[in-house]
Amino acid sequence: MFGYVAADIKGLSKEERAIYKAHYCGLCHALKERYGSIGTSSLSYDMVFLEMLLSDLNDRDETEGSERCAVHPVKEHRYIVTDSTYYAADMQMLLGYYSLLDNIHDEGKGEREEEKYRAIITELTRRYPRQAEALKENLRLISIKEEERSKDAEALALLTGNFLGEIFVDDDGSFFRDDLRTLGCGLGRFVYLLDAWCDRKKDRKKGTFNPLAEDIGRSDMKDMLIDAAATASSAFERLPLDQHVSIMRNILYSGIWIRFEVKDKE
Amino acid sequence: MTDPYSVLGLSPGASDEEVKKAYKRLAKKYHPDIAGNSEEAAHRMQEINAAYDQIINHRSDWQYQQQRSSSYSSAYGSDEPIEMQAAVNYINARRFMEALNTLYSIPEGKRSGRWYFLSAYAKAHTGDTVGAGRDIDEAIRREPGNMSYHAFRDNLTGRRTAYSGYTQNYSANTPGGICSSLCLSLLFFRFCFCFI
């Protein structure tokens, strides 16, 4: 989707880096297994976070393997998959499809790719009606607000939060569905706002839509981002997680800020 | 009322980390894939969930909540829309989306300070903390003397302060450094409110 929900690698130990990478490769493996190259091309760090989160929460058996791939053709690398990896892969495809539609709408590119996606999306919509409907409906509301040239960045961020929240809930009957939804919602709000912040100069130059006020300062922006991040992490801390906690905390308390800090120095 | 720690096989005062580990061990044991679809396993799972909720979310016993909410209508009189009680029930059952839908079915003219409080509470539990902040401000404007509304607002603000403090520490520390759950449980204020 955006790729902002990634670890701050410098803050991970050697073992943690290896585990993080094995989960990244695991999601890539699942995407390739189910969807081929169209799957692997949509891989993002955001869904690696979801994959690690649900794998930990659902506590299912891990399958480990080792393989070569198109990106690393020479050296074999380790990958880890669980049931949740396949769920994250499916969600990645849903998100990938709608961001492709967005590209077609904005830039008129990608129509041939869309054809390849279509059968997959029909199947995914049937299997995950709740998530697919949330995605479709909230993106529809976002595009209405974009056409109105809305300057209510928080309202737009919440729409992103609403669909990502629904995607984070893999099982609507789960005792933890509300914390999962809150966590996804906070992260969705965060990435929408950060994306708008990162693009604001480019958008101003090109005259393309941006929901942030022209004169928004860094500290106001940071306040908005902190509220979203705190929403996500307070829900995260309520979940019974015990496997990848330190890696996920690195992401939530440090990794998600990297792009904000970088853009800041520019 | 059973002691929630003993349900999880722990002694009182066990750390959040121990509570989480114990929860997961038991949840695996009583999962339908392993225990089968027995009624007893399902009942045990309910107890384990309630115990976890009680410790981690500082929630009082479910039945206790139910009992309190059933006396709700007499305390608030009959002029309040019946949907308010339904919303409280949804919130007690942790169905926050349904609670919000029910609340929003009440027309604007009939929304009380309490309506704004319930709305703020449900929004905070679905991730819309910005909307929650707006609603709690409105609740306080209407009922400035209600202390639980102020406590809720402090809670929302405290959560942001806690996050900022933790983030600052985080980058200053070496890998695996300060990720102690003790530190986090002290930092993170939790939502725990009764609805009366």
pLDDT 10s digits, A169-223: 999 989 999 999 999 999 999 999 999 999 999 999 999 899 999 899 999 999 9
Q: Whole-angstrom Cα distance, residue B149 to residue A149?
A: 35
Going from the C-alpha of A63 to that of each of A82, A84, A168, A242, B27, the distances in angstroms are 6, 11, 22, 18, 21
Whether residue A158 and residue B188 make contact (CB cut-off 8 A), yes or no, is no
Whether residue A230 and residue B162 make contact (CB cut-off 8 A), yes or no, is yes
Determine the average pLDDT of the residues in B136-158: 92
Whether residue A242 and residue B20 make contact (CB cut-off 8 A), yes or no, is yes
pLDDT of residue A117: 87
Dihedral, CA atoms, A98, A258, A212, A95, nearest 10 degrees? 10
pLDDT of residue B74: 45
Q: How confident is the model at residue B69 (pLDDT cuts 50, 70, 90)?
A: very low
Whether residue A238 and residue B17 make contact (CB cut-off 8 A), yes or no, is no
> Is it the case that residue A236 has pLDDT exceeding 90?
yes
Angle A216-A5-A185 (CA atoms, 0-180°, nearest 5)?
75
Q: How confident is the model at residue B180 (pLDDT cuts 50, 70, 90)?
A: very low
Selected for mutation to probe chain A from B179, B180, B181 (highest A CB count within 10 Å) is B179
For residue A193, being part of any structural domain is answered with yes
> Is it the case that residue B182 has pLDDT exceeding 50?
no
Mean of the per-residue pLDDT values for chain A?
92
ipTM, interface predicted TM-score of the complex: 0.86
- Closest CB from B130, B162, B170 relative to A158: B130
pLDDT of residue A19: 96
Instruction: Tell me the β-bridge partners of A64.
Output: A80
Question: Percent of chain A at pLDDT above 90?
Answer: 77
CA distance B18 to chain A (A): 9
CA distance A91 to chain B (A): 20
Q: Whole-angstrom Cα distance, residue A108 to residue A178?
A: 38
Q: Is A65 strand, coil or helix?
A: strand
The answer to whether the CB of A245 falls within 8 A of the CB of A49 is: no
CA distance A88 to chain B (A): 21
CA distance A143 to chain B (A): 20
pLDDT of residue A73: 75
Going from the C-alpha of B164 to that of each of A42, A59, A195, the distances in angstroms are 32, 30, 20
What is the 8-class DSSP label of residue A139?
Answer: H
C-alpha gyration radius of chain B: 19
Q: Whole-angstrom Cα distance, residue B181 to residue A178?
A: 21
Selected for mutation to probe chain A from B20, B134, B135, B189 (highest A CB count within 10 Å) is B20
Determine the average pLDDT of the residues in B21-29: 94
**Residues in A touching B179 (Cβ below 8 Å):** 245-246, 249
- Closest CB from A8, A178, A226 relative to B160: A226
* Nearest Cα residue to B83 out of B111, B47, B60: B111
For residue A187, being part of any structural domain is answered with yes
Instruction: Tell me the β-bridge partners of A77.
Output: A67
Task: Give the nearest chain B residue to A227 (CA atoms).
Answer: B160
Question: Percent of chain B at pLDDT above 90?
Answer: 41
For residue A3, being part of any structural domain is answered with no
For residue A2, being part of any structural domain is answered with no
Whether residue A253 and residue B167 make contact (CB cut-off 8 A), yes or no, is yes
Q: Is B128 strand, coil or helix?
A: coil
**Residue for token pair 């725990």:** B192
Helix (H) or strand (E) holding A145: helix A129-147
Record the pTM. 0.89
For residue A64, being part of any structural domain is answered with yes
pLDDT of residue B178: 41
For residue A14, being part of any structural domain is answered with yes
For residue B62, the number of C-alpha atoms closer than 13 Å in the C-beta half-sphere is: 15
> What is the phi/psi pair of residue A84, to 5°?
-65, -25
Top mean pLDDT of A222-236, A250-264, B1-15 is at: A222-236
Q: Does residue A83 belong to the interface with chain B, where contact is any CB pair within 8 Å?
A: no
pLDDT of residue B63: 34
For residue A113, being part of any structural domain is answered with yes
Host domain of residue A88: 9-265
The DSSP secondary structure of B155-186, one letter per residue, reads HHHHHHHHHHHHHHHHHHS-TTSS--HHHHHH
**Residues in B touching A237 (Cβ below 8 Å):** 181, 184-185, 188
The answer to whether the CB of A240 falls within 8 A of the CB of A188 is: no
For residue A246, being part of any structural domain is answered with yes
> Is it the case that residue B20 has pLDDT exceeding 90?
yes
Exposed / middle / buried, residue A71 (Cβ in 10 Å: 0-12, 13-18, 19+): exposed
The answer to whether the CB of A193 falls within 8 A of the CB of A217 is: no
Q: Whole-angstrom Cα distance, residue A255 to residue B175?
A: 13
Q: Does residue A178 belong to the interface with chain B, where contact is any CB pair within 8 Å?
A: yes
pLDDT of residue A185: 97
**Residues in B touching A184 (Cβ below 8 Å):** 127
Q: Does residue A184 belong to the interface with chain B, where contact is any CB pair within 8 Å?
A: yes
Q: Does residue A255 belong to the interface with chain B, where contact is any CB pair within 8 Å?
A: no
Task: Give the nearest chain A residue to B173 (CA atoms).
Answer: A11
The answer to whether the CB of A110 falls within 8 A of the CB of A103 is: yes
Whether residue A240 and residue B57 make contact (CB cut-off 8 A), yes or no, is no
Per residue in A29-88, pLDDT tens? Answer: 999 999 998 888 889 999 999 999 999 999 988 999 998 877 777 788 899 999 999 999
pLDDT of residue B186: 41
Enter the tokens of residue A89.
């892969």
> Is it the case that residue B70 has pLDDT exceeding 60?
no
Residue that wins the pLDDT comparison between A108 and B39: B39
Per residue in B78-128, pLDDT tens? Answer: 577 889 999 998 888 878 889 999 999 999 999 999 999 999 999 999 999
The DSSP secondary structure of A154-223, one letter per residue, reads HHHHHHHHHHHHHHH-S-TT-TTHHHHHHHHHHHHHHHHHHHHHHHHHHHHHHT----S-TT--HHHHHH
pLDDT of residue B80: 79
Looking up residue A122, the CATH number of its domain turns out to be: 1.10.600.10
Question: Percent of chain B at pLDDT above 70?
Answer: 74
Q: Whole-angstrom Cα distance, residue A184 to residue B136?
A: 23
**Residues in A touching B134 (Cβ below 8 Å):** none
Residue that wins the pLDDT comparison between A36 and B73: A36
pLDDT of residue B184: 46
Q: Does residue A244 belong to the interface with chain B, where contact is any CB pair within 8 Å?
A: no
Helix (H) or strand (E) holding A77: strand A77-81
> Is it the case that residue A252 has pLDDT exceeding 50?
yes
Look at chain A and report how many structural domains it folds into. 1
pLDDT of residue B159: 86
Selected for mutation to probe chain B from A224, A253, A256, A260 (highest B CB count within 10 Å) is A253
For residue B22, which amino acid is it?
A
